């Protein structure tokens, strides 16, 4: 049986600020993100099973990604833990849902974090192939499993 890749797309709204950046992204600003999670595996070949013909149920992908990524980051402001405590408190006070990460919250670092968070969450025999995070309509970062083995 052939290996097949399946992809589920998600959208969420998020703001971030890049500490020490030398351009406009040093200010708090937001994006409408598009996240593509691609898995690979062999479709189930069991006519008696309700998931026959599927690599993985798209609803299972949805449930995992919503729980692990979207619910945490949607409508949040993401900042680096490198900010001083006063700035962190100000961000939390001003914006409410503030996520503090241990990296500069660039598209590249976020896609790597998302991949690391998701890679062991899927059923046996189903592998995380890639994660693509689109920050704008024409800019994205992509994590691919084979590049990270």
Mean of the per-residue pLDDT values for the chain?
A: 96
Among this protein's residues, is 134 annotated catalytic? no
Q: Encode burial over 107-138: b for 16+ CB neighbours within 10 A, e otherwise.
A: bbbbbbbbbeebeeebeeebebbbbbbbbeee
Tell me the pLDDT band of 101, cut-offs 50, 70 and 90. very high
**Catalytic: which of 13, 25, 29, 116?**
25
Tell me the pLDDT band of 86, cut-offs 50, 70 and 90. very high
Domain segments of the chain as ranges: 4-148
Q: Rounded mean pLDDT of 11-33?
A: 95
**Catalytic: which of 9, 13, 29, 75?**
75
- In this prediction, residue 111 carries a pLDDT of 98
**Catalytic: which of 107, 129, 134, 135?**
135
- Nearest Cα neighbor of 104 from 83, 80, 87 is 80
Among this protein's residues, is 49 annotated catalytic? no
CATH superfamily of 4-148: 6-pyruvoyl tetrahydropterin synthase/QueD (3.30.479.10)
């Amino acid at each position: 049986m052939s290996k097949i890749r399946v992809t589920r797309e998600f959208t969420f709204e998020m703001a971030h600020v890049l500490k020490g950046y030398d351009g406009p992204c040093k200010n708090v600003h937001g994006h409408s993100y598009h996240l593509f999670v691609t898995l690979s595996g062999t479709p189930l070949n069991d006519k008696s099973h309700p998931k026959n013909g599927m690599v993985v149920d798209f609803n299972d992908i949805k449930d995992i990604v919503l729980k692990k990524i979207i619910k945490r980051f949607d409508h949040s402001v993401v900042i680096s833990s490198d900010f001083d405590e006063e700035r962190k408190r100000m961000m939390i006070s001003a914006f409410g849902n503030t996520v503090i990460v241990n990296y500069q919250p660039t598209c590249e670092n976020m896609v790597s974090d998302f991949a690391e968070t998701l890679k062991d969450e899927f059923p046996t025999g189903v592998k995380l192939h890639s994660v693509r995070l689109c920050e704008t309509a024409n800019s994205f970062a992509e994590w691919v499993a084979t590049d990270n083995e």
